[in-house]
């Protein structure tokens, strides 16, 4: 009987042990399942083959998607705008209570623009534009964009703003060695943008009214960072003066300008045409005087429409009142001849007229002595009078000698 009782007790213990083990296993499985399904922000829940994302606070899905500054780089004292664009990447609408921008160095000019904003829908974007003034020296600054949400939470984003006073340079690239009154010369200026951003609406113009300058101004819509452009001007000066060129441009909404002074001083052009007269000879031509010679271009440019004539008080007559030479290239020459009346004075001016490549007319003069070519006044036959007298005397002497000879032979 006692043996049966022991066997029964042993069976009960085994049964209780199995139940305990089963309960422990069930609790362990339950605990594991609870640990796997506990929600944390941004966590992933896995149940069999299904996968889902646990919900985070809606405002955490609002992020900064773009930042734009105008100008891209400020100069000291410049005003400009900072535009911060935010995007709601979540699936719920988010209410924004206030947006602002703050910095101890950069001045915010639009302080109350976004005191009341509203909601930004799921998947939408919303821009916030602030007007600022960078009245600070060169450097990099980080004004902070702040977005406060209606219920709870906020977004902070530092915006990089650079202040750099790199210049825009206006300089002379090419100009003539000297200027000549009334002669058109080409002057080439150069404008270089050494700033870190593009400049816009550039206008280059001369500040002068008594000089012919073409064009009166040059307009450039945009000049990128590091870019240079040549600016040709045709200048025809009349008197010595200074020409002040001004280049005005926009850096963002801010107007800036740079100046350049071009002095205009007159001197002899070393490269211009230089016609020279030589080998002048004057000879009688009936009752007139013929003047011949050579004209040579000893300059470095073409002499166009070259003519040679005598000036007052000479009296030009046909057939060569004026002699047309035409084009004389450098080191080229041409002969000429002129006819004037013998009534002209002993010294007469010979005048050369020519044009340069721009059509400007130049003249120069040289004196010619024609006294040796003149004949005595009156009829041209008077030069034979001495010979006629000699002939008459010779005939008379011959007659006298013949008469005496015949008289001696008479008996």
Question: Cα separation of 211 and 204, whole Å?
Answer: 16
Q: How confident is the model at residue 369 (pLDDT cuts 50, 70, 90)?
A: confident
Q: Does position 43 have pLDDT exceeding 80, yes or no?
A: no
Take residue 270 and report the two structure tokens written for it. Answer: 């070393």
Take residue 310 and report the two structure tokens written for it. Answer: 């005598």
Q: Which are the contacts of 6, defined by CB distance < 8 A and separation ≥ 6? A: none
As a whole number, mean pLDDT of residues 172-177 equals 92
Same domain membership, residue 98 and residue 66? yes
Q: How confident is the model at residue 375 (pLDDT cuts 50, 70, 90)?
A: low
Lowest mean pLDDT among 43-47, 265-269, 386-390: 43-47
Q: How confident is the model at residue 410 (pLDDT cuts 50, 70, 90)?
A: low
Q: What percent of the chain has pLDDT over 90?
A: 51
As a whole number, mean pLDDT of residues 210-235 equals 95
The CA-atom distances, in angstroms, between 285 and each of 281, 341, 380, 391 are: 12, 9, 11, 28
Listed residues 128, 163, 198: the one ending a domain: 163
Helix (H) or strand (E) holding 322: strand 322-328
Same domain membership, residue 245 and residue 156? no
- Listing DSSP states for 252-274 in one string gives TTEEEEEEEEEEE-B---TTS--
Based on the structure, what is the number of domains in the chain? 3
Question: Cα separation of 328 and 266, whole Å?
Answer: 25
Q: What is the pLDDT of residue 23?
A: 59
As a whole number, mean pLDDT of residues 53-61 equals 71
Q: Does position 35 have pLDDT exceeding 50, yes or no?
A: no
Q: Does position 277 have pLDDT exceeding 60, yes or no?
A: yes
Lowest mean pLDDT among 195-204, 335-344, 380-389, 390-399: 380-389
Indicate whether 120 belongs to any domain: yes
Question: Cα separation of 306 and 310, whole Å?
Answer: 14
Listed residues 230, 264, 298: the one ending a domain: 264
Question: Cα separation of 113 and 99, whole Å?
Answer: 8
Q: Which are the contacts of 408, defined by CB distance < 8 A and separation ≥ 6? A: none
Q: What percent of the chain has pLDDT over 70?
A: 81
Indicate whether 396 belongs to any domain: no
Q: What is the pLDDT of residue 117?
A: 92
Highest mean pLDDT (candidates 3-17, 118-132, 364-378): 118-132
Lowest mean pLDDT among 150-159, 221-230, 279-288: 279-288
Indicate whether 391 belongs to any domain: no
Question: Cα separation of 174 and 234, whole Å?
Answer: 12
Q: Which are the contacts of 115, defined by CB distance < 8 A and separation ≥ 6? A: 98
- Residues 8, 14, 20, 22, Cα dihedral to 10°: -120
pLDDT digit string, tens, across residues 236-253: 998 899 999 999 999 999
Indicate whether 200 belongs to any domain: yes
The three-class DSSP label of residue 405 is helix
Q: Does position 4 have pLDDT exceeding 50, yes or no?
A: no
Q: What Rg value do the Cα atoms of the chain yield, rounded?
A: 54
Same domain membership, residue 340 and residue 312? yes
Lowest mean pLDDT among 133-147, 181-195, 313-327: 313-327
Same domain membership, residue 244 and residue 281? no
Same domain membership, residue 192 and residue 232? yes
Q: How confident is the model at residue 57 (pLDDT cuts 50, 70, 90)?
A: confident
Q: What is the pLDDT of residue 45?
A: 32
Same domain membership, residue 282 and residue 224? no
Q: In what order do the strands lie in the sheet with 118-120?
A: 118-120, 94-102, 144-149, 154-158
pLDDT digit string, tens, across residues 299-314: 888 999 999 998 888 8
Same domain membership, residue 121 and residue 176? no
Which range of residues forms the domain containing residue 65?
59-163
Listed residues 144, 163, 182: the one ending a domain: 163
**What pTM, to 2 d.p., does this model score?**
0.63
Q: What is the pLDDT of residue 106?
A: 96
Mean pLDDT of all residues in the chain?
Answer: 84
Q: How confident is the model at residue 52 (pLDDT cuts 50, 70, 90)?
A: very low
Indicate whether 12 belongs to any domain: no
Q: In what order do the strands lie in the sheet with 254-264?
A: 218-223, 199-206, 241-251, 254-264
Lowest mean pLDDT among 313-317, 329-333, 355-359, 361-365: 355-359
CATH number at residue 306: 2.60.40.1150
Query: Which residue would you say has higher pLDDT here, 90 or 25?
Result: 90
Neighbour tally for 394: CB within 10 Å: 10
Lowest mean pLDDT among 5-14, 33-42, 126-135, 378-387: 33-42
Q: In what order do the strands lie in the sheet with 303-310?
A: 322-328, 303-310, 347-355, 361-369
Q: What is the pLDDT of residue 347?
A: 87
Same domain membership, residue 194 and residue 156? no
Question: Cα separation of 148 and 57, whole Å?
Answer: 14
CATH number at residue 66: 2.60.40.10
* Max Cα-Cα span within the chain: 241
Indicate whether 224 belongs to any domain: yes
As a whole number, mean pLDDT of residues 357-368 equals 84
The three-class DSSP label of residue 389 is helix
Same domain membership, residue 197 and residue 288? no
Same domain membership, residue 253 and residue 219? yes
Take residue 263 and report the two structure tokens written for it. Answer: 């002095």
Indicate whether 395 belongs to any domain: no
Take residue 213 and report the two structure tokens written for it. Answer: 């300058």
As a whole number, mean pLDDT of residues 328-355 equals 90
Indicate whether 135 belongs to any domain: yes
Q: What is the pLDDT of residue 12?
A: 63
Same domain membership, residue 301 and residue 207? no
Same domain membership, residue 212 and residue 140? no
Q: Does position 264 have pLDDT exceeding 70, yes or no?
A: yes
Q: Does position 382 have pLDDT exceeding 70, yes or no?
A: no
Sign of the Cα pseudo-torsion (266, 270, 273, 276, in order): positive
């Amino acid at each position: 009987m006692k043996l049966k009782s022991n066997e029964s007790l042993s069976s009960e213990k085994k049964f209780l042990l199995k139940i305990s083990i089963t309960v422990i296993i069930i609790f362990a499985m339950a605990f594991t399942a609870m640990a796997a399904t506990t929600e944390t922000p941004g966590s992933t829940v896995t149940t069999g083959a299904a996968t889902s994302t646990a919900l985070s606070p809606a405002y955490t899905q609002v992020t900064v998607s773009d930042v734009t500054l105008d100008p891209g780089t400020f100069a000291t004292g410049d005003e400009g705008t900072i535009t911060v664009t935010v995007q709601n990447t979540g699936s719920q609408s988010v209410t924004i209570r206030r947006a602002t921008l703050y910095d101890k160095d950069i001045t915010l000019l639009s302080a109350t623009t976004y005191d009341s904003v509203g909601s930004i829908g799921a998947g939408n974007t919303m821009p916030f534009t602030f007007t600022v003034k960078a009245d600070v020296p060169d450097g990099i600054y980080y004004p902070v964009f702040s977005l406060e949400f209606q219920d709870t939470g906020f977004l902070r984003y530092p915006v990089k703003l650079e202040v750099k006073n790199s210049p825009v340079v206006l300089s002379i690239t090419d100009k003539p060695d000297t200027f000549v009154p009334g002669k058109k010369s080409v002057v080439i200026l150069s404008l270089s943008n050494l700033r870190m951003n593009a400049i816009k609406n550039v206008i280059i113009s001369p500040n002068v009214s008594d000089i012919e300058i073409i064009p009166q101004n040059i307009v450039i819509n945009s000049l990128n960072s590091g870019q240079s452009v040549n600016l040709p001007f045709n200048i025809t000066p009349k008197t010595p003066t200074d020409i002040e060129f001004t280049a005005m441009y926009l850096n963002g909404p801010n107007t800036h300008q740079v100046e350049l002074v071009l002095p205009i001083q007159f001197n002899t052009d070393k490269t211009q045409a230089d016609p020279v007269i030589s080998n002048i000879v004057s000879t009688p031509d009936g009752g007139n005087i013929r003047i011949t010679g050579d004209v040579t271009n000893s300059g470095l440019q073409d002499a166009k429409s070259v003519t040679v004539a005598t000036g007052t008080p000479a009296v030009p007559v046909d057939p060569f009142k004026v002699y047309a030479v035409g084009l004389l290239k450098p080191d080229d020459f041409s002969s000429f001849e002129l006819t004037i009346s013998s009534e002209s004075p002993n010294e007469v001016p010979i005048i050369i007229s020519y044009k340069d490549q721009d059509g400007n007319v130049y003249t120069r003069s040289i004196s010619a002595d024609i006294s040796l070519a003149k004949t005595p006044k009156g009829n041209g036959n008077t030069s034979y009078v001495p010979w006629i007298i000699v002939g008459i005397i010779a005939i008379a002497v011959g007659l006298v000698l013949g008469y005496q000879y015949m008289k001696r032979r008479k008996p």
